């Protein structure tokens, strides 16, 4: 089987796997205070089904699997699953995106399994603002987990969704974090996946964020991988880096190398698009590996050119939360 290349010549080598849509936080830009309606338990792909799909994707040339959600650590059985992934022939890089609340106790095990990169979401450095955004009081726990992960040598990226009037005054504090730490702090434009059919009201574009950065610090561009979503900068002399993710402006579609699998096994070839394949149905209908692979290649061969085209084509019937897509 050939590696996955879409109809626009983009190689797909990166899979984002939402292992649960459940979460112990309620971030305003992601879901309403009451949370979202989770998938029925019998709809959610089992660990065994996920393991089979990951093997198939790795055989199709996927080199990196990011575990996301919802909050991945709220699903029981995550660690044994990660261990199995790490033992797949052609072992992919395994990365995790987490809100950090349950991370601290798992760090040693993650290290043993070979996970070395963690993306941790932290939108503020202030406990009260954290409560305003996430509607829970886990701020200290997250800070402790980040510091422990740092001490243990994990490569850390901090994801910050920037909202005007809420946390935008902290941009310079976040940049200061990169002075002595090798972390990459990435500022993210809010996207329209808040679970209630909107986009968080207090908007700041990536360019607005960049203007603020440049007013406060002298920054220089840093080169990034070809298909990376973040535009990277550094303050000369600082150890860490700063990124801007133009998630709403969609500046990175031309080099997008990502596939996404929702908790229910829907395959997405674009964050903004509708699901293109029901992989759970294929597995549960007893399809062979070969026919699952052909179905994936077929879907990839009809990929839309960018997130704007995908959004226009999406006949929305539900309000999406990022917790179902995995970010």
Task: Name the residues that contact ligand SAM, by CB under 6 A.
Answer: 23, 29-30, 68-71, 97-99, 121, 159, 161, 188, 190-191, 193-194, 247, 322-323, 326-327
Using CA atoms of 36, 126, 221, 248 in order, give the dihedral in degrees to the nearest 10: 20
Q: Which of 62, 322 has the CB closer to ligand SF4?
A: 322
Q: Which of 81, 200 has the CB closer to ligand SF4?
A: 200
Pairing of strands 258-261, 266-268: antiparallel
Supply the minimum distance, in Å, between the C-beta of residue 36 and ligand SAM.
11
Q: What is the DSSP string of 53-79?
A: HHHHHHHTT--EEEEESS-GGGSTTHH
Pairing of strands 241-245, 184-188: parallel
The CA distance from 306 to 151, in Å, is 39
Q: Which of 22, 212 has the CB closer to ligand SAM?
A: 22
Which of ligand SF4, ligand SAM, none does 247 bind, CB closer than 5 to 8 A by kind?
A: ligand SAM
Which of ligand SAM, ligand SF4, none does 243 bind, CB closer than 5 to 8 A by kind?
A: none
When asked if residue 262 is in the footprint of ligand SF4 (CB under 6 A), the reply is no
Place of tokens 């360019």: 207
Minimal CB distance residue for ligand SAM: 327
When asked if residue 241 is in the footprint of ligand SF4 (CB under 6 A), the reply is no
When asked if residue 322 is in the footprint of ligand SF4 (CB under 6 A), the reply is yes
Torsion angles phi and psi, residue 43, rounded to 5? -85, -25
- The 37-76 site mask, x for binding ligand SF4 (CB under 6 A), equals --------------------------------xxx-----
When asked if residue 325 is in the footprint of ligand SF4 (CB under 6 A), the reply is no
- The 105-144 site mask, x for binding ligand SF4 (CB under 6 A), equals ----------------x-----------------------
Provide the edge-to-edge strand list for the sheet that holds 258-261. Answer: 220-222, 230-234, 241-245, 184-188, 155-161, 117-121, 93-98, 64-68, 14-18, 258-261, 266-268, 277-278
Q: Which of 30, 45 has the CB closer to ligand SF4?
A: 30
When asked if residue 323 is in the footprint of ligand SF4 (CB under 6 A), the reply is yes
DSSP classification of residue 231: E
Q: Nearest-CA neighbor of 117 among 175, 48, 55, 186?
A: 186
Place of tokens 């995908």: 310
Using CB atoms within 10 A of its CB, is residue 171 exposed (0-12), middle (13-18) or buried (19+)? buried
Which of ligand SAM, ligand SF4, none does 31 bind, CB closer than 5 to 8 A by kind?
A: ligand SF4
Q: According to CB under 6 A, which residues from 292 to 321 bind ligand SF4?
A: none
């Amino acid at each position: 089987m050939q590696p996955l290349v879409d109809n626009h010549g983009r190689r797909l080598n990166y899979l984002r796997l939402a292992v649960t849509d459940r979460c112990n936080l309620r971030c305003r830009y992601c879901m309403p205070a009451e949370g979202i309606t989770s998938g029925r338990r019998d709809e959610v792909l089992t660990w065994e089904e996920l393991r089979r799909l990951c093997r198939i994707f790795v055989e199709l040339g996927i080199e990196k699997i990011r575990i996301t959600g919802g909050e991945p650590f709220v699903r029981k059985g995550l660690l044994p699953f990660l261990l199995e992934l790490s033992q797949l022939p052609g072992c992919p890089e395994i990365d995790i995106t987490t809100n950090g609340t349950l991370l601290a106790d798992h760090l040693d095990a993650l290290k043993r399994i070979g996970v070395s990169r963690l993306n941790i979401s932290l939108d503020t450095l202030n406990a009260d603002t954290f409560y305003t955004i996430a509607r829970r009081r886990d701020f200290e726990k997250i800070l402790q987990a980040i510091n422990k992960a740092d001490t243990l040598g994990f490569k850390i990226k901090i994801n910050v969704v920037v909202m005007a009037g809420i946390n935008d005054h902290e941009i310079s504090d976040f940049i200061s974090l990169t002075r002595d730490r090798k972390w990459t702090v990435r500022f993210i434009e809010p996207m329209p996946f808040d679970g209630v059919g909107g986009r968080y009201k207090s908007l700041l574009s990536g360019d607005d964020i960049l203007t603020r950065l440049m007013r406060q610090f002298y920054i220089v561009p840093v080169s990034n991988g070809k298909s990376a979503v973040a535009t990277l900068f550094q303050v000369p002399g600082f150890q860490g880096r700063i990124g801007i993710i133009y998630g709403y402006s969609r500046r990175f579609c031309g080099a997008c190398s990502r596939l996404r699998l929702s908790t229910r096994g829907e395959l997405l070839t674009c964050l903004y698009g509708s699901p293109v394949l029901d992989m759970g149905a294929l597995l549960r209908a007893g399809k062979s590996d070969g026919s699952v692979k052909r179905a994936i290649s077929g879907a990839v061969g009809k990929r839309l050119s960018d997130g704007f085209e995908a959004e226009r084509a999406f006949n929305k019937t539900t309000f999406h939360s990022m917790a179902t897509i995995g970010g």
